[in-house]
């Protein structure tokens, strides 16, 4: 019956649209209702979700799509209040204020991300997407201090080409540690370095500032420029990838009750670069459900051990970037 009625309504609406005036609903009781095309947004057999104790307001529009916010790291989308990173004296009013200079990407180069390196009482680099997704990040306390060498998300817009990396070689590639591969654009993103010690408890976290659980629908992910170069050609610490090698990003989701789920994102599997995540790739996170925070770490096949095997490190430089993080409100 619904299908017949649907076809009837569709036919009537089509005729009305062609006439650009009215259409009519013929009821089983013999009555007829007339509507203007201009006053009808859509016709649906899906019942609206309403409070059973509240009457339906015929003038209230029904929006079947959930509301979302997207963290883009672009200045035009910045809604957070201005603040100061006291440890380096930097006033932050927009996302680009959090970007280290292009010639300060090397270890220890920028006071934004290294000013308190080595100071156990130091303060961390931190940012919050207040007024939008509500996601926030603070450098983890790692290696008895704060600093990018211990891991974290840095806001960046730096790019580098393979030719540029080949010109400087493995000795100079860390001058581009905050870069992703490609030609320079105006796109801003968050680039992360992960601690290379196997089993480290220092995770890179994105949390919600209100402490409540929300669903993160998706985000874009890409490898940093340094691991791509290292996987292709090897480095001072690692070998070029062969068919048995892999590099993956592990996302751990924390629910409101403290339970966790994991999602693995394979960034490189084997020696074929055409299968690696070298371009921005959308990752669906909806299976993780509502979360209070998500944490990131990276794993790979190439490892080296010290202290008789008691301390193990991954060999390749562990960098990745994220962008366009979509949160369901």
> Which is nearest to 13 in space by CA: 36, 47, 45?
36
Of 8-12, 61-65, 129-133, the range with the highest mean pLDDT is 129-133
Which pLDDT belongs to residue 51? Answer: 63
List pLDDT tens digits, range 203-246: 899 999 999 999 999 999 999 999 999 999 999 899 999 999 99
**Three-state DSSP class for residue 209:** coil
Give how far Cα 155 sits from Cα of 210, 265, 290, 324, Å. 22, 22, 25, 13
Q: Which two tokens stand for residue 294?
A: 């998500």
Is residue 68 predicted with pLDDT exceeding 80?
A: yes
* Domain residue limits, the chain: 1-64, 68-328
Number of Cβ within a 10 Å radius of residue 206:
24
What residues have CB less than 8 Å from 144, skipping those under 6 apart?
120
Give how far Cα 82 sits from Cα of 95, 101, 127, Å. 10, 20, 10
Verdict on whether the full-model pTM lies above 0.85: no
Q: Would you identify the CATH topology of the domain 68-328?
A: Jelly Rolls (2.60.120)
- Give dist(CA 221, CA 145) in Å, integer: 28
More confident residue, 159 or 66: 159
List pLDDT tens digits, range 166-215: 999 888 899 999 999 998 888 999 999 998 888 875 689 999 999 999 99
């Amino acid at each position: 019956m619904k299908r017949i009625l649907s076809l009837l309504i569709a036919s009537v609406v089509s005729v009305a649209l062609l006439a650009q005036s009215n259409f009519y609903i013929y009821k089983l009781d013999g009555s007829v209702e007339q509507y203007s095309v201009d006053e009808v947004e859509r016709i649906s057999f899906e019942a609206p979700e309403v409070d059973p104790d509240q009457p339906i307001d015929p003038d209230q529009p029904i929006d079947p799509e959930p509301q979302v916010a997207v963290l883009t790291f672009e200045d035009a989308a910045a809604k957070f209040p201005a603040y100061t990173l006291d440890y380096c004296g930097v006033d932050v009013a927009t996302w680009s204020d959090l970007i280290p200079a292009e010639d300060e990407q090397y270890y220890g180069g920028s006071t934004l991300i290294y000013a308190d390196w080595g100071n156990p009482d130091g303060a961390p680099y931190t940012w919050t997407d207040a007024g939008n997704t509500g996601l926030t990040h603070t450098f983890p306390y790692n290696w008895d201090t704060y600093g990018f060498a211990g891991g974290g998300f840095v806001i960046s817009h730096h790019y580098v080409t393979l030719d540029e990396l080949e010109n400087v070689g493995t000795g100079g590639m860390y001058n581009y540690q905050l870069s992703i591969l490609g030609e320079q654009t105006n796109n801003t993103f968050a680039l992360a370095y992960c601690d290379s010690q196997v089993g480290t408890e220092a995770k890179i976290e994105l949390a919600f500032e209100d402490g409540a659980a929300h669903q993160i629908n998706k985000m874009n992910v890409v490898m940093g420029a340094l691991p791509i170069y290292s996987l292709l050609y090897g480095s001072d610490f690692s070998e070029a990838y062969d068919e048995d090698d892999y590099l993956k990003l592990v996302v751990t989701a924390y629910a409101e009750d403290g339970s966790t789920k994991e999602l693995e994102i394979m960034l490189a599997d084997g020696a074929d670069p055409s299968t690696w995540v070298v371009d921005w790739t959308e990752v669906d996170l909806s299976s993780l459900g509502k979360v209070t925070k998500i944490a990131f770490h990276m794993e790979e096949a190439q490892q080296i051990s010290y202290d008789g095997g008691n301390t193990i490190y991954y060999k390749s430089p562990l960098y990745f970037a994220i962008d366009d993080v979509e949160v369901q409100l």
